[in-house]
């Protein structure tokens, strides 16, 4: 006796792709955006613990590029946190260490000024 079973999985594969695109992709994008918003707030809230009296300039522009079905096509969606370039240049010494010199961000043409950091 011989039993042979054959399956045509091509229809199944296309149905799974449509189901994932319509059901899971929006949920993944939503979850990424919720996580991104929380991460943004966590970074802002943590700044006073690591910076000496941070100003609104320092904490103000932590940006979030939210995930979207439009820009990811439902695949490889991502949300990105971003510190604005002028803030990043200013904070590089706080984060990476080093000495601020004349003309560096947060400094004058003659060198760092005394006073607040952050």
Query: pLDDT band for position 39 (50/70/90)?
Result: very high
Q: How far, in Å, CA of 113 to CA of 118, rounded?
A: 13
Residue extents of the structural domains in the chain = 10-84
Contact criterion met (CB below 8 Å) for 84 and 63: yes
Distance from first CA to last CA of the chain, Å, rounded?
Answer: 81
Residue with tokens 């490889």: 76
Contact criterion met (CB below 8 Å) for 59 and 45: no
Convert the pLDDT of each residue in 92-105 to its tens digit. 877 777 777 777 77
Convert the pLDDT of each residue in 63-94 to its tens digit. 899 988 875 555 678 888 888 887 887 788 77
Average pLDDT, the chain: 80
């Amino acid at each position: 006796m011989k039993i042979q079973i054959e399956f045509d999985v091509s229809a199944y594969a296309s149905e799974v792709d449509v189901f994932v695109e319509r059901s899971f992709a929006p949920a993944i994008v939503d979850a990424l955006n919720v996580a991104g918003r929380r991460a943004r707030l966590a970074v802002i809230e943590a700044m006073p613990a690591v910076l000496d009296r941070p100003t609104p300039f320092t904490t103000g522009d932590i940006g979030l590029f939210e995930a979207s079905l439009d820009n990811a096509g439902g695949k490889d969606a991502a949300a990105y946190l971003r510190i604005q370039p002028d803030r990043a240049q200013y904070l590089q010494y706080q984060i990476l260490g080093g000495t601020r010199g004349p003309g560096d961000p947060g400094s004058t043409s003659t060198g760092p000024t005394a006073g607040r950091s952050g």
